[in-house]
Amino acid sequence: MSTRQKNVNRKIRIGVDTGGTFTDFVYQTNGALQIFKLPSTPDDPSRAIAEGLRRISEEAGATSIEVIHGTTVGTNALLQRKGARTALVTTGGFEDVIEIGRQARPELYNLNAVKPPPLIASELRFGVRERVTATGEILEVLRDKDIAALVGELRKAKSESIAVSLLFSFVMPQHEEKIASALSELEIPLSISHQILPEYREYERTSTVVINAYLVPLMSRYLEFLTSGLSTLASADPDRNSPPRGSRGASGDEKVYSLRVMQSNGGSVSATTAAREPVRAILSGPAGGVVGALRVAAAAGIKDIITFDMGGTSTDVALCRGEARTTNEALVAGLPVAVPVIDIHTVGAGGGSIARVDEAGALRVGPESAGADPGPACYGKGDLPTVTDANLILGRFGRPALLGGEILLDYNRARKAVSRLAEQMSRASGDRFTPERAALGVIRVANANMEAALRVVSVERGQDPRLFSLVCFGGAGGLHACELANGMRIPRIIVPRSPGTLSALGVLLGDVVKDYSRTVMLPASQADSQQTERLFAELEARAGRDLKNEGFDKARIRFSRAAALRYVGQSFEIDIPWSRRFLGAFHSAHRTRYGYADQTRPTEIVSLRVRASGITEKPKIERIRESLRNSVKARRGKHLLTKSAATGESRVFFGNRVTRVPLFSRDALAPGSMSSGPAIIIEYSSVTLVPAGWSFVVDPWGNGVLSS
């Protein structure tokens, strides 16, 4: 928690992660990380952010403030279909590509499955007479009179944003450029496919550009408002409507503000870029969590991890072998997004997930969430039972308060909500359910949903979870991690320091990252090194210019090259780091993923990719002094915590029995401290439940390591 002391810092970087229930803040002053959480404001996420930034500004007194923001604004707009009125311009005859899609069925055995409607209605899709071949030859020239007619139709349509995606424009972009030039007179946002995603696959490319156009007006307004709000941080009148761009700090210096936004690929970009290409920030917050988990694990010498981020609304999981795996085949709200995103699987199971009995009498938990308003019943406003209420009824929080006492939990209100659920379960089953038994049922169902998500990223992809460590974070993760690890047979759990704010730390730890690609369709046997070098150099030159505009000089820019390869005739490709041995690496990767490789089969390079990183200043994750000696003592059983070190105890329900469980304050645990379960470890941002059969030890980096 923040120390609330005045510090004069010349520069301060702040990580902000907006979740469905809480908004998290992480910043560094005088070499120490400070954290705190505020309730989110779903009606206007910027209100909670402004309040937190004002609090930091008052404490830190910095003259230069950089905010890196993980946001769910784009995600929520897409899920709720609350984006802009968008028009689509495409090659004549291809207006319905976004509605036809592909033959893949989301519900394979449901004969009555209903596809969600496309983001753009048919009356807002406009075809233009033009045609280009896959090799870039013009079959039908785009005429000026057709462009003029198109401009007139779009003006009448009164759209708020326009997506332009012509057939094979990634090979020959001149037609898109002519249309974009003409449409600029409408003075509304334009999303051009050869600029956003110059790759083949018409459906995925068009879908990605449409999503971008759908989100641009909303994201632009949000980021513009948030950027303007930054300049009020040191103002004596923070509620003024037209704040100045800069204001005087405690030392009398002019304050300088900047805003970056976390992208789905694990890197951040300027607010200007994010407003122009919001499709790249759809999984902004969860990506920050993966980045933070990887850095924490790497510092502790752990390479292979499964991340488990349980917040108030959802749970995000990802499997990482030393680095985050990115994919260009993501689905968000049932729509394909073909820009690079960290491969994260999300389920609607969080602390605020609502429990109910369905029409068939079965207990369901989520995906509906109580969110921040009204929140779980125990927060004092809501009346519906949630996972948080169930944990409170079962005594698993240890104390009736969260965030160091800032949020008091209403046990009686939670019990009433869970009691109503117990009555419904009793009527549906003919059996008698007490509130505690109903709460245990809620936990089991929520755990089953989260375990299914963990299996998707591990077992279903041929990975043995027993070979990985589970990195558990998010405000609610520590209460469920051990039971999930038992079910998955994962032997070790890592609980970082301040797990409830790890995603906010992750956005601070990320570099500025930009991805570039170009479809080339080159037979691997005929790939000319000079040709590929020229194409890579062109992508890197563009990347260098863009990062220079972001404020990075050559010394702070790094490039990495990759190629997407496949066997001729395959529908999908595999990304391979580029080297002289790229072909052998592809065969090896294909064998790992699909169980076979055929080195005699013709192979082709589908696309070339460049990732450009601007290296940022980062908080360091350091060992705690004298920790190694203490850790050795712990392994020998010489530093075992006893009940005399406990701050209290709680009556906790484990199945049908009640156990008195000691409570330990994590802030008071030195490296090497060890406790055997059952125990509850309490800290500001989270609570960790250690069941019987598990042990908890603090490692040299301050992480909690649980093992069975």
As a whole-number percent, the residues of the chain with pLDDT over 90 amount to 66
- Mark whether 175 and 268 lie in a shared domain: no
Q: State the pLDDT confidence band at 237, using cuts at 50, 70 and 90.
A: very low
- Mark whether 199 and 250 lie in a shared domain: no
Backbone dihedral region of 428: left (phi > 0), alpha (psi from -120 to 50 degrees) or beta?
Answer: alpha
- Mark whether 100 and 194 lie in a shared domain: yes
Task: Look at residues 375, 374, 376, 395 and name the one whose alpha carbon lies nearest to residue 385.
Answer: 376
pLDDT at residue 152, as a whole number: 95
- DSSP-derived 3-state class of residue 222: helix
Range scoring the smallest mean pLDDT among 144-153, 235-244, 250-259, 622-631? 235-244
Q: How many domains does the chain have?
A: 5
Q: Does any domain span residue 418?
A: yes
Q: Does any domain span residue 597?
A: yes
pLDDT at residue 233, as a whole number: 56
CATH number of the domain encompassing residue 521:
3.30.1490
pLDDT at residue 70, as a whole number: 93
614, 635, 663 - which closes a domain: 614
Q: State the pLDDT confidence band at 629, using cuts at 50, 70 and 90.
A: very low
CATH number of the domain encompassing residue 21:
3.30.420.40
Q: Does any domain span residue 22?
A: yes
Average of per-residue pLDDT across 662-668: 92
pLDDT at residue 218, as a whole number: 94
Q: State the pLDDT confidence band at 623, using cuts at 50, 70 and 90.
A: confident
The yes-or-no verdict on residue 245 having pLDDT over 80 is no
The yes-or-no verdict on residue 500 having pLDDT over 70 is yes
Average of per-residue pLDDT across 667-694: 92
Specify the residue for token string 């705690």: 624
pLDDT at residue 625, as a whole number: 62
- Mark whether 577 and 658 lie in a shared domain: no
The yes-or-no verdict on residue 4 having pLDDT over 50 is no
As a whole-number percent, the residues of the chain with pLDDT over 70 amount to 92
Q: Does any domain span residue 689?
A: yes
Taking each helix axis from N to C terminus, what angle separates 481-488 and 435-457, rounded to the nearest 10 degrees?
Answer: 50
pLDDT tens for residues 31-61?
Answer: 778 999 998 888 888 889 989 988 887 777 6
- Mark whether 117 and 175 lie in a shared domain: yes
CATH number of the domain encompassing residue 100:
3.40.50
Q: Does any domain span residue 24?
A: yes
- DSSP-derived 3-state class of residue 426: helix
- Mark whether 146 and 210 lie in a shared domain: yes
The yes-or-no verdict on residue 370 having pLDDT over 80 is yes
pLDDT tens for residues 67-104?
Answer: 999 988 888 888 888 899 999 999 999 999 999 988 77
190, 215, 240 - which closes a domain: 215
pLDDT at residue 80, as a whole number: 80
Average of per-residue pLDDT across 104-123: 84
Q: State the pLDDT confidence band at 254, using cuts at 50, 70 and 90.
A: low
Average predicted confidence (pLDDT) for the chain: 88
For residue 578, CA distances in Å to 365, 536, 565 come to 45, 10, 11
- Mark whether 677 and 692 lie in a shared domain: yes
Strand partners, 304: 321
Range of the domain at 186: 81-215
Q: Does any domain span residue 634?
A: no
- Mark whether 198 and 229 lie in a shared domain: no
Asked if 288 contacts 363 with a C-beta cutoff of 8 angstroms, the reply is no
The yes-or-no verdict on residue 234 having pLDDT over 70 is no
pLDDT tens for residues 397-448?
Answer: 998 888 888 889 999 999 999 999 999 999 999 999 999 999 999 999 999 9
Q: Which helix (H) or strand (E) holds 33?
A: strand 32-39
- Mark whether 565 and 595 lie in a shared domain: yes
Average of per-residue pLDDT across 480-494: 96
446, 478, 493 - which closes a domain: 446
- Mark whether 88 and 105 lie in a shared domain: yes
Q: Does any domain span residue 313?
A: no
- Mark whether 191 and 235 lie in a shared domain: no
> What DSSP state is assigned to residue 444?
H
The yes-or-no verdict on residue 8 having pLDDT over 70 is no
The yes-or-no verdict on residue 333 having pLDDT over 60 is yes
- Mark whether 243 and 261 lie in a shared domain: yes
Q: Does any domain span residue 332?
A: no
Class of residue 691 by CB neighbours under 10 A (exposed 0-12, middle 13-18, buried 19+):
middle
pLDDT at residue 110, as a whole number: 83
